[in-house]
Structure 1
Amino acid sequence: MRLTRVTLFLLVLIIGFGFYRLAVYLLDDVDAQTFQATEEVMVDTATVLAGVVEEKIANGASKPDVQSLRQVFDHAQRHQIEAKIYNHTKTNLGINTYITDSTGLVIFDSDEGKREGRNMADFNDIARTLAGRYGARSSREDENDPNSSVLFVASPIRSGDNIIGVLTVYKPQADVRTFITGRRRDILTATLLIGGGIILLVVAVFVWVFQPLGKLTNYAQAISRGERRPLPNLGKGKEVNTLGKALRDMRETLEGRDYVKNYISTLTHELKSPLAAIRGAAELLEEDMPAKQRHRFLDNIRRETSRSESLVRDLVQLSELEGQSHLENHRPFNLTELCHEIADEAGPRLAVKGLQLEFSSDEDINLTGDAMVIKLAIKNLLENAISFSPDKGTINLTLESKDKKSVISLKDEGPGAPDYALERAFEHFYSLPRPGSDRKGTGLGLPLVYEAAKLHGGTAELKNLPERGCVASIHLPL
């Protein structure tokens, strides 16, 4: 998934850079194309006006006659203009002209005669035109104001084959900037909308597809590690949710098959001994024997029957826990009250061996989870402690909060467990003989405790005490 994220990031970066370059090109091109179009119209205008002036010139004249052109501009400037050009309304004449003689001296300026009497032979529009070339320039009226630029386009005035003057048409760039600004705004808006749409599409694909796939990957990896996790929230994407449910169903199916196979095999093996003992005792009871011996065989049948029942009962409880991919009953409950309840219910069982149960809690602790599952786990630890405790001994049940966890501990005064047994304590069907006899438990109590803690996001531990006895504990997140 890291490669996918890097690829998506690079894709967004490339798209963003591409649209940036496109926007720069289009914005620069708007200026160039607009001024080119304006210059073309000004060339036509200058040529037409030069033709008007030439018409009034007699062959052999040394300078143009500007009187008729002066009248034309005087009339034009008195006209009222209200032209709607796209989103811009034009209300005044935006073009002017000046005429020079063959030396570059201005003899007419339609802009209130501002340039009349000024020699402009050094400016490109005049100098190049008098030299027989195309003359044009762009100059600022105020060098400190970039918005004061004016476009100048010139056309020669001829008398016969001689150039006797120059007619220059000029127009402020500010008149054209209105259209450029509007086009720039349209280009920027379109570019940002398209680019933003593509980037949003990439982000949406990441959120709707790749992010849920990342969650599914983590879910699958957690399953591989043996963790119990519910199917993560994958959003509302139909395809991803279908994939997630298919993965969950496949997992449950495969786990179910392996679970049934392993448990049937193990249960069959574990039931062989008690069933063989029951069968042997039943066969011997058919023979004629003293009453005392008959009672011994009957006790053996009852004991093995009880062990078989405990094995099946514990196996059913454990299978119910192991069959849950996540905690199904999730509610708040008071752990301190639950421990008091367990201690009260254990009274008769403790009395058989004359044991005392001392319960201590440093505070009132509340948890969120399945109270019945936690109760079953604590009862199994207590049953284990009772089995390994000497007669008239003491069992300590303590409840405390430590490092943002609640810790339930049960300490007994039994012989403790060998180191090799501590490593295998939570394995299925692994059990040690009870003190003073060769009888074993079902080997399912501690695995049940482990599964209960795991479902609640906690852990279970078993270790020997320094002097004697064991301490079994459950650590649950608060």
Structure 2
Amino acid sequence: MKLPKISFRLRLFLFFFLLIGVGLSLQLNVLTSELKPGLRQATEESMVDAANLLAEIATPEFVRGELANGEFDRAFKAFKQRELNAQIWTKAKTESLLRVYITDSRGVVVYHSEGRDIGKSYYRWNDVQRTLNGQYGARSTEAVKGDPLTSEMYVAAPILVGEQVIGVLTLVKPNLSLQPFLEVSRDKVERFGMVLILLAVLLGLAVSYWLTGSIRKLRDYAVAVSQGKEAVAVPQFSDIELEHLAQAMAHMRVQLEGKNYVEQYIHSLTHEMKSPVAAIKGAAELLEQGLPPADQAHFIGNIKNESVRVEILINQLLALAALENQQGLNNIVAVDLGQLALAVVERLDLSLKEKQLTVNIQGTGCVEGDAFLLGQAIENLMTNAIDFSPVGAEISLTIGAKSDHIFLKVADQGPGLPDYALARVFERFYSLPRPHTGKKSSGLGLSFVQQICYLHQAKCSLRNGEQGAIAQLTLPFTQPK
């Protein structure tokens, strides 16, 4: 099933809203769920104080057995009849729902503010039993079983004579009296949550519009470039990442337009083709004049040689162009550089014998890469070394490894590189005259090597050693997948 396309702005907004909205919802749910126990805990704390105060007041009459008609009973009845006039938040409190009962050391009720259950044992209730045992006694019990709205809080305090517990005073408060405050708090939390969610929506819209505004600039720039509009300014951004992206797009524009690239190719190719074309043309013109057979053979040979030179140049140029268009390695395998170097040397055996050169291969090592391309790179380096080596010299091919890479060096015993050429040897079509013939190559070999190194996340360098030039490939052990 194909999903419908949605704009990046909407996707960003939904992501931001869900992220903030879900976080706020979880926090609000936690806060709402904690309101009820938090409110009960606060109420229980105040009831503990009140119960212990009442226990101290009731102790003298409890000891004398005068609770039923004593001052404690009259004061509590007067308190129940008192009309309260308290405005607590949005709720008006006009009466108290508190109740009190007192039990003796056996848990038997000796006083009840409602005048009931006198002589009845309450020892089985946690508030009485635990307090008589020297612990904190409290419980919450439903007055009507199965109806949580009828639950009541019971908080007990010991009646003491010295260190001895002789009775228990329990203060009772219906939890229903807390409900209005709970509802007010919940309503405020919910309203506050709705405001926060609304703010999250507005903030999400603002952030998504701001971010996509920068992306729209990049889109408009890309559209303008694709339509062939000239003098399109590169958009500027305060964000480093977007600024880098804009610059990368500008660079890509230049590369795609290919003006500099094509101009350089055409200029260099024209320059390189002039010499062989002129030679072929001159030879052809001379042949038209009816030269002696020996001269004809000479000029026909020139035409063949220059034709071969043009063919080699075109083939190398096509190979390099194909390599530059390659985005990555197509065939990554484990490559034994020692065996690969040996195979390259065997292919170049004829060229080596012509100049009586020897090759000393030292070391070995394995990397991941394209075996064919790596072989081409080594062959180009070896060909350069052969061209610049004196007759009867030695070429050293050394393979070694370090902690994070492996290297391959090709060192010759030639004249080395002139200082002015060191910075240009990897330029396309740049070539130095060979010492023995004075001829130049196509100037594409080292560019080919450099492109192979780029595809292998490797580096190539060419420098002068103590004797001759040293070309080096530095390759990682493994290629990124």
* 2:370 corresponds to: 370
Would the aligned equivalents of 2:98 and 2:172 in 1 still touch at CA under 8 Å? no
Would the aligned equivalents of 1:342 and 1:375 in 2 still touch at CA under 8 Å? yes
* 2:112 corresponds to: none
* 2:324 corresponds to: 322
Instruction: Rate the CA distance shift 1:384–1:118 in 2: closer, same or farther, 3 A.
Output: farther
TM-superposed CA distance for 1:305, in Å, is 1.9
Aligned partner of residue 272 in structure 1, secondary structure: helix
Would the aligned equivalents of 2:352 and 2:358 in 1 still touch at CA under 8 Å? yes
* 2:300 corresponds to: 298
TM-score by length of 2: 0.55
Would the aligned equivalents of 1:332 and 1:368 in 2 still touch at CA under 8 Å? yes
| More deviation, 116-125/8-17 | 8-17
Would the aligned equivalents of 1:137 and 1:151 in 2 still touch at CA under 8 Å? no
* 2:400 corresponds to: 400
Measured against aligned partners, the alpha-carbon deviations of 1:316-360 in whole angstroms (never above 9, x if no partner) come to 221121111111222223222111111112111111111111111
Would the aligned equivalents of 1:333 and 1:368 in 2 still touch at CA under 8 Å? yes
Measured against aligned partners, the alpha-carbon deviations of 1:280-332 in whole angstroms (never above 9, x if no partner) come to 11111222445554444334323322221221121122112111111122222
* 2:81 corresponds to: 129
Would the aligned equivalents of 2:138 and 2:153 in 1 still touch at CA under 8 Å? no
Would the aligned equivalents of 1:127 and 1:135 in 2 still touch at CA under 8 Å? no
Distance in 1 of aligned mates of 2:455 and 2:153: 81
Distance in 2 of aligned mates of 1:433 and 1:327: 33
- Aligned pairs (5 A) from 1:127-166: 127=79, 129-130=81-82, 134-136=94-96, 144-145=136-137, 147=139, 150=153
* 2:461 corresponds to: 461
Would the aligned equivalents of 1:464 and 1:470 in 2 still touch at CA under 8 Å? yes
Would the aligned equivalents of 2:460 and 2:474 in 1 still touch at CA under 8 Å? yes
Distance in 1 of aligned mates of 2:439 and 2:394: 22
Measured against aligned partners, the alpha-carbon deviations of 1:118-167 in whole angstroms (never above 9, x if no partner) come to 65358667425157874415589669446467479xxxxxxxxxxxxxxx
Number of aligned pairs?
Answer: 329
* 1:273 corresponds to: 275
- Aligned pairs (5 A) from 1:224-235: none
- Aligned pairs (5 A) from 1:15-94: 16=23, 19-20=26-27, 23-25=30-32, 27-28=34-35
* 2:310 corresponds to: 308
Distance in 1 of aligned mates of 2:257 and 2:374: 24
Find out whether 1:347 has 2:310 as its counterpart. Answer: no
Aligned partner of residue 330 in structure 2, secondary structure: coil
Distance in 1 of aligned mates of 2:331 and 2:370: 5
Distance in 2 of aligned mates of 1:147 and 1:445: 92
* 2:265 corresponds to: 263
Q: Percent identity at matched positions?
A: 32
Would the aligned equivalents of 2:97 and 2:173 in 1 still touch at CA under 8 Å? no
Would the aligned equivalents of 1:399 and 1:408 in 2 still touch at CA under 8 Å? yes
Instruction: Rate the CA distance shift 1:172–1:26 in 2: closer, same or farther, 3 A.
Output: same
Q: Which runs of 5+ in 1 are unaligned?
A: 37-104, 106-114, 153-169, 214-219, 221-246
Measured against aligned partners, the alpha-carbon deviations of 1:354-385 in whole angstroms (never above 9, x if no partner) come to 11111111x4x222211000001111111111
TM-superposed CA distance for 1:426, in Å, is 0.5
TM-superposed CA distance for 1:403, in Å, is 3.1
TM-score by length of 1: 0.56
Measured against aligned partners, the alpha-carbon deviations of 1:416-474 in whole angstroms (never above 9, x if no partner) come to 111221111111000001103331000000010111111001000000012x2101111
Would the aligned equivalents of 1:412 and 1:469 in 2 still touch at CA under 8 Å? yes
* 1:477 corresponds to: 476
Would the aligned equivalents of 2:83 and 2:95 in 1 still touch at CA under 8 Å? no
